[in-house]
Chain A
């Protein structure tokens, strides 16, 4: 009896992919019949949570700073993914980031509001402001929407440069810091975990279903009597608020806000990370970020070739591996493959 398909050259074989037994029972209905099954579900999530919580303890100061930035970009990626899941393609993550940054900076600089309040305030107001700015183009097709989100940060840069408000070209500096590195690191880690699991949960509810429906076929949703513009605006608000949150956070982390808050980097990085990791599932965004960011940090030695590297990587992934790395891993975890003899 041939032991594997390789040995038996006579017959034809095909590859069969089956869900693991556990998955059939545990995918979304949690009727688990053993601890092993519970572990199966919990394990990936536990790895993320525990891993993130341990890292600041293990890494030195420089790499902890890198970790903080990675988390920030991760949240931006999650926000991008969320907006994309609602059917909108945003090329303007920098907009959310910049608006949140400046709001927190202004609150702190002109009115002396402490980070404890400026960050939440900037998050909410920032999200609202960005939504209002983008509102006029919500009705337009994806391309126009993308163009406008692309152009908006540049407009704001021009206005600030020109009028010199909010510190103008110089920016606002000497802002209140966040107490120390530990607080910073754990704060952002908790925020990241909250956003990650929060977004996933949100997408699993009926609300999320509507958003996904809008992405798939908005006219069908419209014919169901649902006002898609209102939902889109909400999705934009949520995603925008997440972006504003990290912007405000970074302002206090660096104690400085300036024109670079609107830089293209904050738009490209999240998209590259999400594309590499896999769009549509937030885990993909996280994975992509945690692969790409340390990689580019490690490649700092090669200077501006870094940007070339991750933009071309983004292009390659979107053509060749459009589903991203995460889907591949997920498949491995949830399914097993075997060769089956065909008749």
Chain B
């Protein structure tokens, strides 16, 4: 008796597994698809940002699609694409599943990793919906759009990409040089495509400007002891450390930099150390570190939209954003989508793309308009384009903006165990 039961149950399971109808939603709301690494900081914070914008818009009545007011609806799924060892195909499957089950009208903020984002462009071309990216940073995104406009025109990026980011960063390095007279730098980056690219660009810039690059090293994932490179930095009298990594090793490195009292300024792309609660969690040990974020993560007075966003986000989530880029543009993206829909009067992908291209508004990161390559240009003037701001952690736990000059709040302070070169 029991055994027969078992086989019946198994049989039913088998059949069900193949033929269970997938649920579909009513066509009424305008659906925004959030398919990204929801387990990671940038991923879920962008989701909050999107939800924040959707709540605000829905509270005012929704979006006007050719005469009818319809609400926005957010559907999300975890693509896990930032997990090491996860095949890109898995992420793509998650994307396709979302497309088939929920039929979103647009995708925000796009995948976490550039690898997955690039691979997804072909799928997006097939389904013809706008893809507004705010996390992945590879400039290859842009070159593909330029190469094959008709297929890839659905893709846009609102956050800074590796090139603009590096430009912002290099600007701050120049400022450091002018201020302190430093000329010796050491670059250390994680084992990732974008990090290597930034390291390469930075090295070339240093050499072009006459700095001495005392070393360029790549560290493997999972490295837990940076004493060797740190000692090397000390022995070569390095004055500025450029650390490029979004992984937790950043914490280990910063910690060792501090306890080994290496006489160099620690700067770089250090997302794990840029969030608001970092000072508290690490009990002030991040003091003196210079990092880069986009406005919105830190309220920038010169950009009122960033102040508004920061306050609204904090109210919704309970604390400010902890990532270094992503949520601000994701929030803007929803508004941009809304405006494009209202201008186009429909949800048709091609029409939306045309309207999105015409976007010119003030957003959280500065002025948002798209270049031919569907990327928002970033610079040093929030009136002209987006902004990447450098800040330094200073007592009593504030992130003081030190660059660009247009929005700076304070000056860089050297760590106490270090002396000026001038």
Interface residues of A (CB under 8 A from B): 59, 62-63, 65, 158, 161-162, 168-171, 173, 250, 254, 256, 258-265, 290-291, 294-295, 297-298, 300-301, 303-304, 325, 328-329, 332
Contacts and interface: CB of A to CB of B under 8 A. Distances in A.
Contact of B220 (A161, A168, A250): A161
Nearest to B96: A62
Nearest to A161: B191
B25 interface: no
Contact of B17 (A168, A250, A260, A294): A294
Given A258-B115, A265-B85, A332-B3, A169 B192 contact: yes
B212 to A, nearest CB: 26
Nearest to A261: B87
Nearest to B14: A291
B193 A173 contact: no
Contacts of A62: 96-97, 100
Contacts of B20: 298
Contacts of B192: 169
Contacts of B196: 169
A301 B100 CA distance: 13
Nearest to B23: A301
Nearest to B81: A260
Contacts of A162: 191, 220
A263 B13 contact: no
9 contacts: A62-B100, A170-B115, A258-B87, A260-B85, A295-B17, A298-B16, A303-B77, A303-B80, A332-B7
A75 B166 CA distance: 46
B88 A303 contact: no
* A interface SS class: helix
Contacts of B115: 170-171, 258
A63 B39 CA distance: 26
B217 to A, nearest CB: 12
Contacts of B220: 158, 161-162
Nearest to B15: A294
B89 A329 contact: no
A158 B222 CA distance: 12
A256 B119 contact: yes
A170 B93 CA distance: 19
Contacts of A263: 85-87
B93 A65 contact: yes
Given A161-B220, A256-B119, A290 B14 contact: yes
A145 B315 CA distance: 56
By size class, the interface of chain B is 35 or more
A173 B118 contact: yes
B93 A256 contact: no
B18 interface: yes
Given A265-B85, A304-B80, A170 B94 contact: no
Given A303-B78, A332-B3, A265 B14 contact: no
Interface string B100-134: 10000000000000010011000000000000000
Nearest to A171: B115
B33 to A, nearest CB: 14
* B interface SS class: helix
Nearest to A302: B78
A173 B13 contact: no
Interface in B276-324: none
Contacts of A304: 39, 78, 80
Nearest to B6: A328
Given A300-B94, A328-B6, 20 more contacts: A63-B18, A169-B196, A170-B193, A254-B88, A256-B119, A258-B115, A259-B85, A260-B86, A262-B85, A263-B87, A265-B85, A265-B86, A265-B90, A291-B13, A295-B17, A298-B17, A300-B77, A301-B77, A304-B80, A332-B3
Interface in B230-282: none
Contacts of B118: 173
Contacts of A295: 13, 17
Interface in B189-232: 191-193, 196, 220
B10 interface: yes
A270 to B, nearest CB: 15
Contacts of A298: 16-17, 20
Contacts of B191: 161-162, 169
Please indicate which of the listed interface residues B13, B78, B87, B96 has the most CB atoms of chain A within 10 Å of its own CB. Answer: B87
Contacts of A170: 115, 193
B7 A258 contact: no
Contacts of B18: 59, 63, 294
Interface string B1-38: 00100110010011011101000000000000000001
A210 B52 CA distance: 67
B394 to A, nearest CB: 35
A169 B193 contact: yes
Nearest first, the 3 A-B pairs at minimum CB distance are A294-B17, A263-B85, A260-B87
Nearest to B140: A170
B96 to A, nearest CB: 6
Contacts of B97: 62, 300
A256 B91 CA distance: 13
B359 to A, nearest CB: 30
B80 A256 contact: no
B85 A264 contact: yes
A171 B113 CA distance: 13
B337 to A, nearest CB: 25
Please indicate which of the listed interface residues B16, B20, B85 has the most CB atoms of chain A within 10 Å of its own CB. Answer: B85
A297 B94 CA distance: 10
Contacts of A258: 87-88, 115
A291 B10 CA distance: 9
Contacts of A250: 89
A16 to B, nearest CB: 15
A256 B88 contact: yes
A329 B193 CA distance: 50
A261 B10 CA distance: 32
A168 B20 CA distance: 41
Nearest to A260: B87
Contact of B89 (A158, A254, A325, A328): A254
Contacts of B6: 328
Nearest to B79: A303
A59 B18 CA distance: 9
Please indicate which of the listed interface residues A62, A260, A262, A325 has the most CB atoms of chain B within 10 Å of its own CB. Answer: A260
A298 B93 CA distance: 12
Contacts of A158: 220
Contacts of A303: 38, 77-78, 80
A330 to B, nearest CB: 12
Contacts of B10: 291, 325
A323 to B, nearest CB: 14
Contacts of B89: 250, 254, 256, 260
Contacts of B13: 291, 295
